[in-house]
């Protein structure tokens, strides 16, 4: 019987591991709860109506269908039986492995306030993105109908919590929607009067980036009407807005739309691995792996992507797509090296740089010694994202949609969908939390 | 104060009425429950993973934003107060009108069996389409896992109820998915073994079409593995399948996926109009209108599209998009003629013909004296659909998606989404009815 490699998760880490094992003499099984690979870096564009879900997702079976040694199982791993070397799925099936690659990523985390989730959705899944899209669009619809100025103002106020790349990109897209996309769409309100706040606990947005780029990002955000509040913590979120803490001062912002781009928590499989093997987790629940990405004492288990905690040159390897891809490829190389009894160097993360867009024509880029911003950074962002998705089928669609949106200032995928899309209650205040899709 | 025209519904009838009133000296208000116009003839392609929702929907505000005399209200009309000339919305707002154009269309109808709705979703909304897409894809996923041959067979059995154009197109797309799109995607099952049944109560599919085309359609369906059952009525639907009645014989088909493409029922506003004005309705609840599309005794109320019942040369005008468009334009012409005190000829439906696709490269066309089928009909279908959507922004995207899918035999938008997409219960038998998205 061939060596059995089981990969949990079809995100960047898991998918690239599977693809890198294409020509290996082993049987590969990819297990995911979802039937598609999601190009998560563009999820904020679905949330803001720029792209359709299908344009940033590819069916896993399709992506892997020519890979004869690989099969895909739709299912959720609920336990890893280390002694038996098998994975227990929620439907009761046991999947045995010789090597296990765990790549189940991370979800958002509300710093001990799970009750905030209903009021401030995060952005990890397609459903999150369509829910956020619905909330944003309905807020403008409610404002168009509001006769009470305070209600109208609350409906036209948007708060993005977290000034990392996701928060900056979301806030920038909100600025563009209000200042550009919707500018001719309403009759009673001027969407450009929307108040958009970006809240960051540290002293600047994009904290790990060079300070000059944080400043460039803030300037680009200002051009789109986004107000940045740094050194500010969120101490409360409910259906009417947020409470902010700045030093000793506490203020309330009335806002009907609050989006969460702050905390990240590793997948629960980290906790399960820790319980079953004694491996240590970091504060965010990530698994502290060996330099070759394996678990201490369990070389047959490798952890890659956002679930893995690894430091390099004293700095943590960031939870970004390129790191997950590189780790997925490394894990595949580990499997191949062992099958051939070869030695392999430890994992080394090659930081190709970071980019974040802020509306049309603006981005910030931190690429090795190069720090730049503005239109050139935006073109670099565009080019690199198109390169990354070049392996997937959807690149041409995205190019066409982007080109069309760029020249028409439109966002074609601005659909209000879901359970309550057709109910008037949805237009009433404070009902956004009832959307389940 | 200007003449107030209120249009209920932003489908083909309502939208074309609004656009035709662009240069009229009147205020136009379009009211819809949804924030987008839906290109319904392509909805079956969303249901079968060929297109994304955003590709066949355009935000109503965007489509109408350059039309300065027109505003859009997101809301649902629950009453028409004929004496006051105003429309009551669900949120309590009253919208006064001088002329009212009612274009709220139709929904599906289960012939007195509303309990079938949970087991056999129809295809009218984006949510219907994504739910059907999820059901189809999950059925293959369950079959891949099934160890019991009877369960596997039931999961690989699909029943489409209703042999009109929608049923034929859905069944054809199912055939193509199972025989072509998914052919390399599974390891335990051969998707081409799927049983697909198309059930029609009349003696042939596409009953109002020329008999030769019904035959051509059946032949195209056979090539895709679809079995057509004519003269057959559905007498029962539950979570395990359907009961069919053919003459005196009753048979049961075990099928986990049943799709409804049979009955159509006019929007409830027909009943409200009838109650408030005494206007007569036909059997499907459509409003019997005057030759100018107005209500008898209420020239200020016009009804267009699927909600209108009108005969021409002894035949009913069909409930198809071209008829709705022509009626919408006619209603606008009626308004303009009255404002200018001119006379107008009665509405005349110009039948430009009918087309239905059956998988790739096959279609049937009934265009005036021309009846043809096969690849030329398919090219005609493609050309005409692209022409129709030429007014909307999404045409280029659809061209690209179609071209890509055509050459790769893929369907890029095959996403399993919704509440239960990530729960293993969804993979168990009989759970499809719990999907609410």
The answer to whether the Cβ–Cβ distance between A422 and B187 falls below 8 Å is no
The ipTM (two decimal places) reads 0.86
Asked if B184 lies within 8 A of A396 by C-beta distance, the reply is: no
Fold agreement between A3-33+75-105+267-339 and A112-262+361-434 = yes
Handedness of CA B176, B179, B184, B187 (dihedral sign): positive
CATH number for the domain formed by residue range(s) B111-262+361-434:
3.50.50.100
Residue B383, pLDDT score? 82
Per-residue pLDDT of chain B (437 residues; tens, 9 = 90+): 899 999 999 999 999 999 999 999 999 999 999 999 998 988 999 999 888 888 888 889 988 988 999 999 999 999 999 999 999 999 999 999 999 999 999 998 898 999 999 999 999 999 999 999 999 999 999 999 999 999 999 999 999 999 999 999 999 999 999 999 898 999 999 999 999 999 999 999 999 899 999 999 999 999 999 999 999 999 999 999 999 999 999 999 999 999 999 988 999 999 999 999 999 999 999 999 999 999 999 999 999 999 999 999 999 999 999 999 999 999 999 999 999 999 999 999 999 888 999 988 899 999 888 999 999 998 888 888 777 765 555 556 666 666 666 766 666 677 777 654 444 444 443 333 333 33
The residues spanned by each domain of chain B are: 3-33+75-105+267-339, 111-262+361-434
The SS3 of residue A176 is: helix
**Token duo for residue A159:** 């708060």
CA distance to partner chain A, nearest, from residue B34 (Å): 6
State the Cα–Cα distance between residues A6 and B33, nearest whole angstrom. Answer: 47
CB-CB under 8 Å, B182 with A61: yes
* Strands, E assignment, B103-140: 106-109
pLDDT tens-digit series, residues A337-390: 999 999 999 999 999 888 999 988 899 999 888 999 999 998 888 888 777 765
- Minimal CA–CA distance to A194: which of A262, A137, A250, A245? A137
Q: Could you tell me which of B364, B197, B172, B166 has the C-alpha nearest to residue B263?
A: B166
What three-state secondary structure class fits A350? coil
Kindly identify which residue of chain B lies nearest to residue A137, measuring between CA atoms.
Answer: B35
Q: Which residues of B touch A417 (CB under 8 A)?
A: 53, 126-127
Element (H, E) at B213: helix B211-223
**Which stretch of A181-190, A371-380, A424-433, B117-126 has the lowest confidence by average pLDDT?**
A424-433
DSSP A83-143: TTTEEEETTS-EEE-SEEEE---EEEE-TT-GGGGGTS---SSHHHHHHHHHHHHHHHHHH
CB contact under 8 A, A35 and B415: yes
Q: How far is CA B220 from CA B33, B165, B375, B384, in A?
A: 38, 14, 11, 20
Please check whether residue A136 is in contact with residue A45, taking contact to mean a CB–CB distance below 8 angstroms.
no
DSSP E strand stretches across B124-222: 157-161, 195-199
Catalytic residues of B, which ones? 169
Q: Which of A58, A74, A422 sits opposite B427 (nearest CB)?
A: A74
When pLDDT is averaged across residues A292-297 and rounded to a whole number, the result is 97
Select the residue from B133, B137, B398, B413 to test the A interface by mutation, using most A Cβ atoms within 10 A.
B413
pLDDT computed for residue A360 by the predictor: 82
Give B-chain residues touching A75 at CB under 8 angstroms: 424, 427
* β-sheet bridge partners, residue A303: A102
Question: Is residue B82 within 8 Å of residue B277, measured between CB atoms?
Answer: yes
Interface probe with A: pick from B10, B52, B128, B141, most Cβ of A within 10 Å: B52
Query: What H or E segment, with its residue span, contains residue B403?
Result: helix B395-408
Whole-number Å distance between alpha carbons of A387 and A285:
32
* Distance, CA of A427 to CA of B59 (rounded, Å): 17
For domain A112-262+361-434, give the CATH number: 3.50.50.100
Phi, psi of B262 (to 5 degrees): -105, -90
Nearest Cα neighbor of B427 from B41, B118, B106, B140 is: B140
The pairing of beta strand A195-199 with beta strand B226-229: unpaired
Angle at A147 between CA A184 and CA A419, to 5 degrees: 75
Which residue among B396, B412, B423 sits closest to A58, beta carbon to beta carbon? Answer: B412
Q: Are A28 and A160 in contact (CB under 8 A)?
A: no
The stretch A68-75 carries a mean pLDDT of 96
Between B380 and A69, where is the model more confident?
A69
> Best of B394, B412, B427 to disrupt the A interface by mutation (most A CBs within 10 Å)?
B412
Tell me what pLDDT residue B92 has: 94
Scanning every residue of chain B, which has its alpha carbon at the shortest distance from the alpha carbon of A92? Answer: B424
Eight-class DSSP state of A281: B
Q: Among B185, B389, B392, B408, which would you mutate to test the A interface (most chain A Cβ atoms within 10 Å of its Cβ)?
A: B185
Q: Which residues contact B225 (CB under 8 A, 6 or more apart)?
A: B175, B178, B179, B192, B194, B195, B196
How near does any CA of chain B get to the CA of A179, in Å? 14
Tell me which chain A residues have a C-beta less than 8 angstroms from the C-beta of B33: 421-422
Q: Which of A55, A131, A169, A200 is catalytic?
A: A169
Cα–Cα distance between A254 and A239 in angstroms, integer? 9
| Residue found under tokens 């107060």 | B81
DSSP code string of B48-106? TTSS-GGGSEEEHHHHTTT-TTEEEEE--EEEEETTTTEEEETTS-EEE-SEEEE---E
pLDDT of residue A404: 64
Confidence (pTM) = 0.89
User: Is A3-33+75-105+267-339 a CATH 3.30.230.70 domain?
Assistant: no
Note whether B186 contacts A436, CB cutoff 8 Å: no
Flag if A414 and B51 touch (Cβ within 8 Å): no
Note the Cα B250 to chain centre separation in Å: 30
More confident residue, A414 or B184: B184
Residue B314, token pair as written in the block: 């002894």
- In angstroms, the separation between the Cα of residue B350 and the nearest Cα of chain A is 32
CB-based contact B424 A90, cutoff 8 Å? yes
User: Which residue of chain A comes nearest to B407, CA vs CA?
Assistant: A393
Q: Which residues of B touch A11 (CB under 8 A)?
A: none
Confirm if A77 and A29 have CB atoms less than 8 A apart: no
pLDDT at A391: 54
CB B120 within 8 A of CB B260: yes
Question: Kindly report the CA angle at B134 between B199 and A77, in degrees rounded to 5?
Answer: 135
């Amino acid at each position: 019987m061939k060596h059995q490699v089981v990969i949990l998760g079809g995100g960047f880490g898991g998918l690239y591991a599977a693809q890198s094992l294409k020509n290996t003499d082993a049987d590969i099984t990819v297990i995911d709860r979802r039937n598609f690979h999601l190009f998560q870096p563009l999820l904020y564009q679905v949330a803001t109506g720029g792209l359709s879900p299908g344009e940033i997702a590819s069916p896993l079976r399709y992506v892997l269908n020519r890979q004869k040694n690989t099969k895909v199982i739709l299912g959720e791993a609920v336990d890893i039986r280390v002694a038996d070397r098998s994975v227990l799925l929620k439907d009761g099936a046991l999947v045995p492995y010789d090597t296990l690659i765990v790549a189940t990523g991370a979800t958002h985390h509300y710093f001990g306030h799970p009750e905030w989730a209903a009021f401030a959705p995060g952005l990890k899944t397609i459903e999150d993105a369509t829910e956020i899209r619905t909330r944003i669009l309905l807020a403008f619809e409610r404002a168009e109908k509001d006769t009470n100025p305070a209600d109208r103002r609350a409906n036209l106020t948007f708060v993005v919590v977290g000034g990392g790349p996701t928060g900056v990109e979301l806030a920038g897209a909100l600025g563009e929607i209000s200042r550009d996309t919707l500018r001719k769409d309403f009759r009673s309100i001027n969407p450009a009067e929307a108040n958009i706040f970006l809240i960051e606990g540290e002293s600047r947005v994009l904290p790990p980036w060079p300070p000059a780029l944080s400043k460039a990002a803030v300037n680009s955000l200002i051009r789109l009407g986004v107000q940045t509040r740094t050194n500010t913590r969120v101490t409360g979120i409910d259906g009417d807005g947020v409470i902010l803490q700045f030093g000793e001062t506490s203020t309330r912002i009335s806002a009907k739309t609050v989006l969460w781009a702050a905390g990240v928590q590793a997948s629960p499989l980290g906790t399960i691995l820790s319980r079953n093997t004694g491996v240590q987790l970091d504060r965010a629940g990530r698994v502290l792996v060996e330099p070759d990405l394996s678990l201490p004492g369990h070389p047959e288990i490798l952890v890659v992507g956002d679930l893995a905690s690894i430091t390099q040159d004293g700095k943590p390897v960031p939870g970004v797509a390129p790191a997950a891809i590189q780790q997925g490829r490394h894990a595949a190389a580990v499997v191949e090296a062992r099958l051939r009894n070869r030695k392999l160097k430890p994992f080394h993360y090659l930081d190709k740089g970071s980019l974040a867009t802020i509306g049309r024509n603006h981005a910030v880029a931190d690429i090795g010694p190069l720090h730049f911003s503005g239109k050139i950074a935006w073109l670099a962002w565009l080019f690199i994202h198109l390169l990354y998705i070049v392996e997937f089928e959807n690149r041409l669609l995205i190019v066409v949609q982007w080109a069309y949106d760029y020249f028409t200032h439109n966002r074609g995928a601005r659909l209000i969908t879901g359970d309550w899309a057709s109910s008037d209650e949805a237009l009433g205040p404070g009902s956004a939390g009832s959307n389940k899709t």
